[in-house]
């Protein structure tokens, strides 16, 4: 068998050919793969183990006629995702029909229902967690859905979540309103108001979301009269202005929720 005609990002040579062979004819045993490539089964087992460790290939025991069971290899879902899947154009066409018949609100409803299903499953588990742990869980959920997200905690009551990849980039370019569904999902799971500080659709390197929750009274350290006397009036006014609200207030429409200080990249230029 010749070399792979399907380019796979990050793979070349025998590993790439092996993945393509499995995609075409899976499941295959190491012996069957060896026969197709003119190599021994042992030569393939090492590559199959490497691909298995990477989560791209798995195997199951099969009985094929007379003799003992054999190990038949197939691609995992992650392995299948290495191959091109062109969903964007048909999905965009379908969404255009929805927008024509139901307006932008109809498009947003479709994506909100998807995120709401994820939030519904996650909220009971996350409800008792501190904000920083909830943010890590949200970042993991976004990553599982293709957003390559991470979180960081500025304090026990303030977090940032950054998504470095847009799994719906082509769709979001044509239907920017769908981004509001992601913001609503993050707010729903975190249980607090979220501000989008940067947006890939505005040319930023990531979508960054900031969230904070009210500081419980038990976490506030009282300031003694001597220390309070040393704080200048202007500084005290700033501290008062920064105090978080004790109740959650409704978020404004998505079109106004990206911070005016849009991209970190643009701020540093």
Element (H, E) at 212: strand 207-212
Rounded to 5°, angle at Cα 148 from 142 and 150: 80
The pLDDT assigned to 199 comes to 93
Task: Please identify which residue in the block is written with the tokens 């990206």.
Answer: 258
CATH number belonging to domain 13-80:
1.10.10.10
Residue by residue, pLDDT tens for the chain (269 residues) are 444 445 565 677 788 888 888 888 888 888 888 888 888 888 778 888 888 888 899 999 888 777 778 889 999 888 887 877 677 788 889 999 999 999 999 999 999 998 999 888 888 888 889 999 999 999 999 988 888 899 999 788 899 999 998 888 888 988 998 999 999 999 999 999 999 999 988 988 889 999 988 776 655 555 555 554 555 555 544 444 444 444 444 444 444 345 444 564 333 33
111: buried, middle or exposed (CB in 10 Å: 19+, 13-18, 0-12)?
buried
Query: Given this model, what pLDDT does residue 3 score?
Result: 42
pLDDT at 185: 92
CATH 1.10.10.10, the chain: domain bounds: 13-80
Fold of 88-227: Muramoyl-pentapeptide Carboxypeptidase; domain 2 (3.30.1380)
Nearest to 164, CA basis, from 142, 183, 185 = 142
How far apart, in Å, are the Cα atoms of 164 and each of 102, 129, 146, 207? 31, 25, 10, 7
Cα separation of 172 and 92, whole Å?
A: 10
Q: Which residue has the tokens 């207030």?
A: 249
pLDDT reported for residue 225: 55
The Cα–Cα gap between 194 and 192 comes to 6
- Specify which residues 194 forms β-bridges with: 211
pTM (2 decimals)? Answer: 0.57
Give CATH 3.30.1380 domain extents, the chain: 88-227
Token look-up 């024509």 returns: 100
- Residue-level length of the chain: 269
Tokens of 101: 């018949």
Sequence-ordered list of residues with C-beta below 8 angstroms from that of 68, at least 6 positions apart, any chain: none
């Amino acid at each position: 068998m010749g070399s792979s005609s399907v380019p796979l990002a990050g793979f070349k040579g025998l590993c790439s050919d092996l993945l393509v062979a499995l995609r075409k004819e899976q499941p295959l045993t190491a012996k069957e793969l060896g026969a197709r490539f003119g190599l021994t089964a042992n030569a393939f087992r090492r590559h199959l183990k490497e691909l298995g460790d990477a989560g791209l290939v798995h195997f199951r025991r099969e009985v094929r006629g007379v003799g003992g069971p054999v190990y038949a290899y197939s691609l995992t879902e992650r392995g299948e995702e290495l191959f091109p899947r062109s969903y964007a154009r048909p999905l965009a066409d379908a969404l255009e029909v929805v927008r024509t018949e139901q307006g932008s609100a109809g498009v947003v409803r479709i994506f909100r229902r998807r995120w709401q299903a994820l939030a519904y499953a996650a909220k009971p588990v996350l409800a008792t967690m501190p904000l920083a742990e909830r943010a890590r869980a949200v970042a993991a959920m976004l990553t599982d859905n293709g957003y390559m997200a991470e979180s960081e905690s500025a304090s026990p009551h303030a977090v940032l979540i950054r998504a470095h990849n847009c799994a719906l980039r082509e769709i979001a370019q044509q239907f920017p309103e769908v981004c509001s569904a992601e913001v609503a999902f993050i707010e729903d799971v975190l249980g607090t108001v979220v501000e989008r500080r940067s947006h890939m659709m505005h040319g930023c390197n990531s979508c960054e979301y900031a969230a904070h929750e009210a500081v419980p009274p038990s976490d506030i350290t009282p300031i003694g009269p001597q220390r309070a006397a040393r704080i200048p009036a202007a500084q005290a006014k700033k501290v008062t202005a920064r105090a978080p609200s004790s109740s959650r207030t409704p978020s404004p429409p998505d079109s106004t929720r990206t911070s005016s200080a849009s991209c970190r990249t643009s701020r540093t230029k």
